[in-house]
Chain A
Amino acid sequence: MKGNEVIAEAAIRCGCDGYFGYPITPQSEIMETLMAREPWKETGMVVLQAESEIAAINMVYGAAACGKKAMTSSSSPGLSLKQEGLTYLAGAELPCLVVDVARGGPGLGTIQPAQSDYFQATRGGGHGDYHLLVLAPASVQEMNDFVALGFELAFKYRNPVMILADGVIGQMMEKVRLDDRVPRWSDEDIERISGEWALTGKKNERARHVVTSLELDSYKQEEFNHKLQAKYRRMETEDVRHEELSCDDADYIFVAYGSSARVCQKSVQLCREQGIKAGLFRPITLYPYPRLPLQALARRVKGFLAVEMSAGQMVDDVRLAVNATAPVEHFGRYGGVIPTPDEIVEALKKQIIKA
């Protein structure tokens, strides 16, 4: 199955309650697959084509406010439009899942794959001090796995979770093991999981629930921000994920996520064939960033090459983690161009090994 189709299938299987979207290449297959599958007949899941990305993310906001598992998907220009909704979701502490199958920019850009939404994804993206928890799949299998995981983390933290993929992962087909079907949450489940805040209709025995991000008292707003920050610190200790490939004996480390990591896997092979001891460090969560394990590697390797389909965004996080303990360089292709395994090897030789 294609990565995009797998997202749709995984959503149905994990008991998602509602998908709201707006077509944009290269991710339209997600809504197309859902519409073809008619999950409302099978699980009761709602699938609705909204009039805009703005409306779609706000429909997610409404559904999420009810304690439901709601999601949307889009690609880069559409994500720009969703930023308003995302900061409101974060500010109202609502769980939801957002998929960005990124393409090249800026502006209308290109429909070809890119990773230039990294800052937008990991720094919050909209106004205010907030973060999304960001998962970066590097295979079609992870497109499946991160849907259920994404919802789990979203509800664990009451925070929006983003799956940051790109056109390669979205359009690629690979073998995939789908999850077993999980029923949608019942009203009792929602009461148990989110009964303290979800909009379920005010019963006599409880106070009314108000889902809002508004607090006019600055001191209370600051206090609320402290609470958000504490939540992000907790993410940093409990839910950082990464993968290391051939790093044990490596002199040089490629740092790459998503499809760039797949290309770098090949570069590691090519390096090893040429007698260069290279390894791959793949962040799986982009926020929180796996800073500590990278720091640990920095003490014993000769250099890092951050490889991204962008002009240099994730490399900032690599530099922050490495903190000048070892050389860090960046190699990027962008605007929809995918780096090749060979040019990455050449970049390593030129920028790190010779230097």
Chain B
Amino acid sequence: MTEEIIIAGFGGQGVLSMGKILAYSGIMQDQEVAWMPSYGPEMRGGTANVTVILSDARISSPVLTRYDTAIILNQQSMDKFENAVKPGGMLLYDPNGITRPPARDDIAIYKIEATRLAAEAGNPKSFNMIVLGAFLKVKPIVILDNVEKGLAKSLPARHHHLIPVNIEAIQSGMNHVEKS
């Protein structure tokens, strides 16, 4: 199994940390992982994206042009990555702020209203975990137990009390993801 994922959105949406949690979850179930962020000034407020690869075998290129899954969180990223999904692959997006929804018919497209759900839950910071939940519902490549362990590993100890809230958000994402 090899899963090549791009997660793309605005800086501040938790794109990099979502990728990190996914990568740590992979390590918890003994997989090879790679996490390769875009870096530099664009981290501050502009677009941010991260490539996450989970595999049972040694990982080759951390820099890719085609992905099994694209998780897209703003319009710029949609423009950039919609066509980068391999045929038969998956695209997951939050419709908030999307003016031109994805149009491809050779991939599976899923929607998650994460911005709205996070606002309704009164916890805008849980946004990225809702998205992660939606992804894991469609592609359960890591099990929830390991995500919890991954969270514990990637969060500093002073934030460990937030793990249950995060798990709740992941479950919310699992419950609300819809195929479009």
A and B touch in the complex (CB under 8 A): yes
Contact indicator A262/B40 (Cβ below 8 Å): no
Interface: B36 (CB within 8 A): yes
| Contacts known (A262-B60, A269-B60); A174 close to B65, Cβ less than 8 A | no
Contact indicator A171/B39 (Cβ below 8 Å): yes
Closest-by-CB residue of B relative to A340 is: B65
Interface: A173 (CB within 8 A): yes
Interface: B111 (CB within 8 A): no
- Within 24-38 of B, Cβ neighbours of A (below 8 Å) are at 27, 32-37
| Contacts known (A173-B35, A266-B61, A341-B64); A25 close to B23, Cβ less than 8 A | no
- Within 35-88 of A, Cβ neighbours of B (below 8 Å) are at none
Interface: A144 (CB within 8 A): no
Interface: B63 (CB within 8 A): yes
Closest-by-CB residue of B relative to A280 is: B60
For chain B, the bracket of interface size reads 20 to 34
Contact indicator A175/B62 (Cβ below 8 Å): no
Interface: B165 (CB within 8 A): no
Contact indicator B27/A175 (Cβ below 8 Å): yes
* Interchain nearest-CB distance for B119 vs A (Å): 30
In the docked arrangement, what's the CA distance between A173 and B65, Å?
19
Closest-by-CB residue of B relative to A140 is: B34
Closest-by-CB residue of B relative to A176 is: B27
In the docked arrangement, what's the CA distance between A268 and B76, Å?
32
Contact indicator B63/A168 (Cβ below 8 Å): yes
| Proximity string of chain A (337-353) to chain B, C-beta cutoff 8 Å, 1 when within and 0 when not | 01011100000000000
Contact indicator B64/A168 (Cβ below 8 Å): no
In the docked arrangement, what's the CA distance between A173 and B41, Å?
19
Closest-by-CB residue of A relative to B66 is: A342
Contact indicator B65/A341 (Cβ below 8 Å): yes
Closest-by-CB residue of A relative to B58 is: A265
| Contact residues in A for B59 (Cβ distance below 8 Å) | 174, 262
- Within 253-286 of A, Cβ neighbours of B (below 8 Å) are at 259, 262-269
| Contact residues in A for B33 (Cβ distance below 8 Å) | 173-175
Contact indicator B39/A173 (Cβ below 8 Å): no
| Contact residues in B for A265 (Cβ distance below 8 Å) | 60-61
- Within 11-62 of B, Cβ neighbours of A (below 8 Å) are at 20, 23, 27, 32-37, 39-41, 59-62
* Interchain nearest-CB distance for A196 vs B (Å): 43
Interface: A112 (CB within 8 A): yes
Contact indicator B61/A262 (Cβ below 8 Å): yes
Interface: A290 (CB within 8 A): no
Contact indicator B23/A111 (Cβ below 8 Å): no
